């Protein structure tokens, strides 16, 4: 995070799920109930504005040139290509709201939502919206007048997006819109209650809450690393209280890549001058270590696989944590 105090309390509720599942309808229903307690995060996009949308409310509708300028100026927290259009989260909007204790809600695609939570693990809540049946998605998109070719293009991502449900904090099946809205509203109220408890803990000079770290695993095969297509991100998972860090690393690979993982092959990527000591569980850390950190592993694969949405990049071209390239070279020389 850039310049945000550790104690900031603004929450970011991210709705994820396949197209046509009703994320926007649920978001509007909750916004109507919540008044001024929460507002929609307008994400930047190059797609055309739809009937009923308003510039600066659902999205910042920009040209491709304007979007690329935002990328060049580092004005976007993250950006993705979805169905041929560019989408991105404005950095200052998110950090300004969080720093002011304001709450935001948004419909974000799965890769961007996962990355955003890795940046703001204490403040981001992922809520997966699931359809009662997959054939409902086509019917709903047809009902809102989307062109047939656009529908087919959007449905191509459904299987991949459904695999991200286990990575989220909550799961809502949108069978009945009113019931689903009730569930979403209850989740938001629960988060407010938890925040009140966090404020009390801070007043007592206790850790804000028990999640203290994320773990990132870099899959390796020979002299290449596996990363998200067109990006430099690797499988990432949350480390929660009482959970072994190595189990979080294993889950990051299983959940993101869908592969069998041998815990014995996970290598803790430490390049400190002293021997690495990895805590068995995060609650064993002394109080001064309750802060957001990233723990890195690398995982040598026995064969070269390429799951959907991922690509292999030579080690010499990959964006890696400081010192990792040297660690990988040393490991490779030992083989």
Secondary structure of the chain as H, E, C letters: CCCCCCCCCCCEEEEECCCCCCHHHHHHHHHHHHCCCEEECCEEECCCCCCCCCECCCEEECCHHHHHHHHHCCCEEEEEEECCEEEEEEHHHHHHHHHCCCEEEEECCHHHHHHHHHHCCCCEEEEEEECCCCHHHHHHHHHCCCCHHHHHHHHCCHHHHHCCHHHCCEEEECCCHHHHHHHHHHHHHHHHHHHHHHHHHHHCCCCCCCCCEEEEEEEEECCEEEEECCCCCCCEEEECCCCCHHHHHHHHHHHHHCCCCCHHHCEECCCCCCCCCCCCCHHHCCHHHCCCEEEEEEEECCCCCCCCCEEEEECCCCCCCCCHHHHHHHHHHHC
Tokens of 132: 């009662």
User: Could you tell me the two tokens for 29?
Assistant: 């229903």
Residues 140 and 20 sit within 8 Å (Cβ to Cβ): yes
* pLDDT score of 329: 74
- Assess if residue 6 is contained within a domain: no
Residue owning tokens 């959940």: 255
* Residue listed under structure tokens 């004005």: 75
Q: What is the CATH number of the domain that holds 282?
A: 3.90.79.10
Last residue of some domain: 203, 223, 242?
A: 203
Q: In terms of domains, do 78 and 56 share one?
A: yes
In a domain, 257, yes or no: yes
Q: What per-residue confidence (pLDDT) applies to 186?
A: 95
Q: Is residue 289 a part of any domain in this protein?
A: yes
Answer yes or no: do 163 and 310 share one domain. Answer: no
User: Measuring CA to CA, which residue among 51, 80, 50 is closest to residue 67?
Assistant: 80
Tell me what pLDDT residue 205 has: 67
Q: Provide the token pair at 66.
A: 């304007």
Q: Per the domain annotation, does 133 fall within a domain? A: yes
Of 203, 235, 264, which one is at a domain's C-terminal end? Answer: 203
- Flag whether 183 is in a domain: yes
Say if residue 285 is in the same domain as residue 182.
no
Whether 197 contacts 234, CB under 8 Å: no
Instruction: Name the residue range of residue 110's domain.
Output: 12-203
5 within a domain of the structure (yes/no): no
What is the model's pLDDT at position 114? 84
- Final residue before a domain boundary, out of 203, 223, 239: 203
In this predicted structure, what is the pLDDT of residue 209? 54
What local confidence, expressed as pLDDT, does residue 104 receive? 95
Tell me the β-bridge partners of 297.
217, 268
Q: Is residue 7 part of a domain?
A: no
Answer whether 0.95 is exceeded by the pTM: no
d(Cα 274, Cα 297) in Å, to the nearest integer?
17
Give how many domains the chain has, as a whole number: 2
pLDDT tens, N- to C-terminus, the chain (335 residues): 444 444 567 999 999 988 778 898 899 999 998 877 899 999 999 999 888 888 888 889 999 999 999 999 989 988 888 778 898 999 999 988 988 889 999 988 888 888 888 888 888 999 999 988 877 777 777 776 777 777 666 676 777 788 888 888 999 999 999 999 999 999 999 999 988 887 887 777 665 655 456 788 899 998 899 999 888 889 988 776 556 777 888 888 998 898 888 888 888 754 332 233 333 333 333 444 345 567 888 899 988 989 888 999 998 888 887 777 777 777 766 65
* Side-chain half-sphere CA neighbours of 91 within 13 A: 15
Domain shared by 38 and 129, yes or no: yes
């Amino acid at each position: 995070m850039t310049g945000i105090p550790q104690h900031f309390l603004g929450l970011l509720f991210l709705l994820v799920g396949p197209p046509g599942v009703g994320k926007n309808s649920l978001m509007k229903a909750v916004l109507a109930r919540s008044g001024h307690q929460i507002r929609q995060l307008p994400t930047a996009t190059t797609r055309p504005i739809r009937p009923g949308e308003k510039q600066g409310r659902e999205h910042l509708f920009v040209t491709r040139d304007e979007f690329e300028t935002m990328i060049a100026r580092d004005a976007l927290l993250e950006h993705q290509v979805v169905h041929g259009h560019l989408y991105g989260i404005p950095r200052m909007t998110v950090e300004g709201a969080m720093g002011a204790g304001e709450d935001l809600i948004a419909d974000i695609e799965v890769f961007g939502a996962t990355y955003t939570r890795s940046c703001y693990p204490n403040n981001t809540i992922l809520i997966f919206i699931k359809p009662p049946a997959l054939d409902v998605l086509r019917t709903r998109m047809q009902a809102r007048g989307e062109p047939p070719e656009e529908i087919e293009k959007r449905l191509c991502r459904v299987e991949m997006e459904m695999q991200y449900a286990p990575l989220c904090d909550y799961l809502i099946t949108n069978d009945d819109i009113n019931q689903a809205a009730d569930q979403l509203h209850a989740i938001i109220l629960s988060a407010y209650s938890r925040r009140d408890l966090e404020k009390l803990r801070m007043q007592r000079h206790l850790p804000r809450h028990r999640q203290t770290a994320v773990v990132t695993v870099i899959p390796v095969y020979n002299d290449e690393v596996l990363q998200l297509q067109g990006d430099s991100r690797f499988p990432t998972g949350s480390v929660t209280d009482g959970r072994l860090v190595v189990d979080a690393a294993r889950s990051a690979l299983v959940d993101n890549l869908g592969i069998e993982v041998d815990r014995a092959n996970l290598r803790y990527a430490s390049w400190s001058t002293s021997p690495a000591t990895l805590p068995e569980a995060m609650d064993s850390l002394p109080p001064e270590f309750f802060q957001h950190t990233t723990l890195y592993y690398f995982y040598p694969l026995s064969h070269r696989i390429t799951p959907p949405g991922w690509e292999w990049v030579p080690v010499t071209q990959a964006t890696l944590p400081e010192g990792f390239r040297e660690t990988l070279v040393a490991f490779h020389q030992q083989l």
